[in-house]
Structure 1
Amino acid sequence: MREQFPLERELTQDICNRLGIEHPNNQGVDQYMSSDFVVDSKEKGRTRFALQVKSVEAFKSARTVEKLQVERTYWQEKHIPFLLVTENQIPATVFENINILYNHACGRLDQNELNELLIHLQLFQQQLPQYETLRLKDLCIHLDTVYTHEPGESLYQIKRLLALRHFHFDITKPFIELRCSDLTAENTDALQEGWRVSS
């Protein structure tokens, strides 16, 4: 599964022209559009599909509907199924967790940001096993106090680490109720190698 999968700009520009829709742009420069997820599956007859997650509220915006039309047409022309998912189609807890992670996913990180993230990754890898029964949010408060971080800094960093899949948890559990034992860490060596490749 790939997140924020970029769509070919030349094709989305062509689709916008055909549909009479203004292409997303920033100060007159056409931007790349993306689908939230592109999933490669072993399911027979549907080996790949694209997925866009939107709140029902988002459909009140005509501009959002236009962009979804462009995205749907893009995938139709690629002969790849396009699925649109709202909070009405998935459990509320899962939807809320996806929102938390989505809002903390970041784009390409520079070397300083990677180094900072690695420090927090190592800190959480050390602390989580020591506080298995403690709620994750309480551990974050504890770490902010012990390391004199700004209040909320540790919670922000663990959300970033989760969004970047450096830790994993059962997405059906409410984030606020997670205990330290609910998180499992990725292999640090593999992550560091991936970071070296990406920088």
Structure 2
Amino acid sequence: MAKRRYELTETRIAKLQKEGRGEGIGPDYQPWIRIHDFSSNGRVHRRYSQKVRRIVQLLSDIEEDIFLKFDASDLVVDIREQFPLPRADTLRIAELHGTRHPCVKGVVAVMSTDFVIDLPGPRRIAIAVKSGDELAKRRVCEKLDIERSYWLERGHEWHLVVDDAVSHDERLHLQQTAEWASLDLLEGVEGWDGRAQDLMLEIFAAAPRERLLDVLRRVEERCGWEAGDALALAKHLLAIRSLIFIGDGRLDVFGPVEQLDRREASDVLAA
């Protein structure tokens, strides 16, 4: 569990509010909690979001997994992590439920939601991310009930995501795709727009069960590309969602072409 680097006081809360924590949208949003606010023995992550064009603060491996799924979704408009809830509202809900509100040494804490996801419509979904071990604790469940009630009062969906929602292979695929998007795989090579069209035509003209590696090699030979160019381009197209991966787990170049499909709106939020 993360330990606070800064002692929670009313002065500290006022300072964070003055900084604009929990405010803004898109690239201007500032999360209520940042990694440097804690001295943690656990794993934390800072990921660049292709969706909102800023560094996202993630406090656990589970949060990273869920963030990468949302960041890759065509349906998501905005992602806001560590989103603060007004204390007046959470205090009222806690009293209504007969539950103790979270406090630290007598200071009423600001509760937060792990992710707030905006979709077209407008539609908003609040996401709490927990491990199975945490859910075995009564106090954790009491705090989740306050959070859930806050969002339902406002007519928004609230979902609890547990750490087994993302498989090991899917986690690796999501991490790889994020890296392909952040690296300039096409640096120093011209004409990639035309090459992308050639590659897409070759992929979708192939038999569904043909090995993807054979298709990539064939387009390299036919078009006179360097070895590895087709795979680099396929990775890039996956990262920017021009191609979508529909297989189980992660991309397997030795697997069939039918792992890949043309871009279309696909809801990855159900998992």
User: Please, what TM-score do these two structures have when normalized by structure 2?
Assistant: 0.38
Task: Give the structure with higher Rg (CA).
Answer: 2
Determine which structure has the larger helix proportion and give its number: 1
Q: Which has the higher contact order (CA 8 A, sep 6+)?
A: 1
User: Please, what TM-score do these two structures have when normalized by structure 1?
Assistant: 0.50
